[in-house]
């Protein structure tokens, strides 16, 4: 399904993003929480990390993307940078 939708996994897929454990179990740890992103947006990934915060047996995964929107007027395009994000 990921291939059909042109999605790629960030976890452990790119050389700079290691496949760190996302689930800490009593007997073993594993990677079961994934971040999938459009292949077209993958070039916009600035960072991907598994945070070491133990709210549950799953660790939060956080990514930062570089996204720009362009507002067109009749003369030229003006880049508008969006600098707000919400951690969920």
Check residue 27 and give its pLDDT.
Answer: 92
Q: What is the pTM of this model?
A: 0.59
pLDDT of residue 4: 86
pLDDT tens track, the chain, 88 positions: 778 888 888 887 766 666 788 888 889 988 877 888 898 888 888 888 888 887 888 888 888 888 776 555 555 555 555 555 555 5
Per-position DSSP letters for the chain, written without gaps between them: -TTTTTEEE-TTTSTTS-----EE-SS-EE-----EEETTTGGGEEEEEE----SSSB--EEEEE--EEEEE-SS-EEEEE-------
């Amino acid at each position: 399904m990921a291939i059909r939708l042109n999605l790629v996994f960030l976890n452990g897929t790119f050389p700079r993003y290691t496949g760190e454990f996302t689930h800490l179990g009593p007997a073993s740890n594993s990677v079961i929480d994934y971040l999938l992103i459009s292949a077209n947006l993958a070039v916009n990934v600035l960072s991907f990390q598994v945070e070491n915060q133990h709210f549950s047996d799953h660790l939060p995964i956080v990514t930062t993307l570089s996204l720009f929107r362009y507002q067109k007027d009749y003369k030229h395009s003006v880049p508008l940078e969006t600098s707000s994000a919400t951690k969920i």
